[in-house]
Amino acid sequence: MTLFPPVSPSPPPVKTEAGGLTLDSPLLLAPLAGITIPPLRLFFSRLGAAAVHTEMISCSGLIRSNGKTDAMLDLLPGEAPAVVQLFAGDEDTLLRGAERALAGGVFKAVGINMACPMPKVLKKGAGARLMERPRIAFAMTAALARCGLPVWPKIRKCPPGYPLTTEEFCCGLLDAGAAMVCLHGRTPAQRYAGDADRDVVAQMAVRFPGRICASGDVYTPGDAAGYLEKGCPAVLLARGAVADPFLFARTLAFMGRSVHNKYADPAPEFRKALAVSLGGLVEEYMGSRAAALFTKRMLPGIFKGVRGSGPLRRAVADKTSWPCVRHEIENFNGYLERREL
């Protein structure tokens, strides 16, 4: 048996139609800055993500042929259907960046980030600033839709004082040609604090059937299922998937899908193998130091709930090379044995 058998041992009985794509399930990996690099996308694809997003990519960087920005377009063999998410503050920049991003013909859909609340993005007129400039947001969506791929703008809840309500903004984007709107239930001012407003997402799902992808506070299978039950065709898993990489598989099982036992109830040895595999993928793509960094970042989630994993996390905390981190992971049984003495 291979290390990564299919999460579901048999094809899904019913495919998911979402945002102009036909997918194996409604569970999608969200765009996460500094996280959804190619090796991590492949990792989550193997763990059950039906589609994956790139990081948010600057159209200005693509236009300038910035090497680091161009590298964000890379895909690895075996990734789930990939969606490229772009950000720009005007239609011309978006289209010029999209021309470069889509030239390879590898992406299945294209997202526009209209949700990022960070100052460095807002000052460029991009991200959540577009929620304050709806005419520009609609024009950008319409222009990008003419490129031929499904367009998925990602937005947040519109607070009082904005030019449009959340419903009006969603309606304008869909009328402009968006295949699906990814709606996060926090306002821009909230950033990532407080709770996401699940009710506004549910209301928009009812108002625009099959056109609203849910985002925000998906930490348990019940969280994801709740959005789906309200009528969302798909759900973005973000920080919840980092905190628990098995969330995709656990949610599929919760939904009644057949899930391989390795993922439904992952044993410590399988978790070790996953961590080593992840580090190896990152090392091959980005080098030893990056492999150590990303694997350490994912370890708490990979070993969540496993007895004796605390000493492992402490043991790797000061390690900066992948061989050193890998050694500690491969000797994880020793920590368990000491815990049980």
Query: Does the 268-340 domain belong in CATH 1.10.1200?
Result: yes
Beta carbons within 10 angstroms of residue 304's beta carbon: 15
Spell out the per-residue pLDDT of the chain, length 341, in tens: 356 777 887 777 789 999 999 999 999 999 999 999 999 999 999 999 999 999 999 999 999 999 999 999 999 999 999 999 999 999 999 999 999 999 999 999 999 999 999 999 999 999 999 999 999 999 999 999 999 999 999 999 999 999 999 999 999 999 999 999 999 999 999 999 999 999 999 999 999 999 999 999 999 999 999 999 999 999 999 999 999 999 999 999 999 999 998 898 899 999 999 999 999 999 999 999 999 999 999 999 999 988 888 999 999 999 999 999 999 999 987 555 444 43
Stated as kind and residue range, the H or E segment containing 294 is helix 288-302
Locate CATH 3.20.20.70 in the chain.
16-262
pTM of the model: 0.94
The pairs formed by 148-151 with CB atoms below 8 angstroms and a separation of 24 or more are 149/20, 149/102, 149/107, 149/108, 149/109, 149/110, 150/19, 150/20, 150/21, 150/108, 150/109, 150/110, 150/179, 150/180, 151/109, 151/110, 151/111, 151/112, 151/177, 151/178, 151/179
In the 8-state DSSP scheme, what is residue 136? H
Which of 3.20.20.100, 3.40.50.1820, 3.20.20.70, 3.40.50.720 would CATH assign to domain 16-262?
A: 3.20.20.70
In the 8-state DSSP scheme, what is residue 278? H
Locate CATH 1.10.1200 in the chain.
268-340
